[in-house]
Amino acid sequence: METVTLTTERLLLRPFEPADTEAVFLACQDDEIQRWTTIPSPYAREHAEGFTGQLVPDGWRDGSACTWAVLIQDTGELAASVAVTVRSLSGTWEIGFWTAKRHRGRGYMTEAARHVARWSFTELGVERLEWRAEVGNAGSRAVAEKAGFRLEGIQRSGLLNNGTRRDSWVGALLPSDLGLPTEHPYLPAARTGS
């Protein structure tokens, strides 16, 4: 797959590159990122080097993951990371993200997630975009809900984080939630009163 650069009103989303290694390493020293995401902890420089130099380019090359550095247009500073990763051959992908500590609370991740979701539906043909976060990760849940994801429930033992299986919230965004068409029709289950 060819790499793609996206722009929003305030952000530039481009694939990570080796020049981003130091910024990734510094951002991932944050206790909250290490606590709530599945990055290695402690996070060493070699983890950042592997991420920017191998993991990200390999995902784009084999079409299994599209990962972007989320940069503030005015300054070029790394604000966040966002990725969509294939989960199944039936059109289901998963979104994942983190935001550097100093850039939280400004709406950058919601803006990036909305844009990446729309791109995923229109350019990748994604028919279901899932979001997961460990139960208790209120920041991630707030971003997902502001971006339009609907919480579907709790998945027992849904995530493996630092050697421990943990329950996860699960949500999804569908193309129809954004008024977009899909290749396959969607027939929701009939709602019954109880």
Work out the pLDDT band at 64, boundaries 50, 70, 90: very high
Work out the percent of the chain whose per-residue pLDDT is above 90.
91
Sort 63 into a burial class: Cβ within 10 Å, 0-12 / 13-18 / 19+. Answer: exposed
Residue 20 has pLDDT above 90, yes or no: yes
pLDDT digits (tens, 9 = 90+) for 153-191: 999 999 999 899 999 999 999 999 999 999 999 999 988
pLDDT at 72: 98
Q: Which of 186, 122, 112 is nearest to 146 (CA)?
A: 112
pLDDT (mean) for 94-101: 98
Look up the pTM and report it: 0.94
- Give 10's DSSP letter: S
CA 192 to chain centroid, in Å, comes to 33
The predicted pLDDT at position 190 comes to 86
Q: How far apart are CA 141 and CA 131, in angstroms?
A: 9
What is the pLDDT confidence band of residue 192, given thresholds at 50, 70 and 90?
confident
Mean pLDDT for the stretch of residues 50-64: 98
Mean pLDDT, rounded, of the chain? 96
Query: In sequence order, what are the beta bridge partners of 112?
Result: none
How many secondary structure helices (H) and strands (E) does the chain include?
A: 6, 8
| Residue 80 Cα distances to 15, 148, 173, angstroms | 12, 19, 21
- Give pLDDT tens digits for 71-81: 999 999 999 99
pLDDT at 194: 60
- Flag whether pLDDT at 112 surpasses 80: yes
Residue 102: the pLDDT is: 97
% of the chain surpassing 70 pLDDT: 99
Q: Tell me, what's the pLDDT at 77?
A: 98
Characterize the bridge pairing of strands 6-7 and 128-134: unpaired
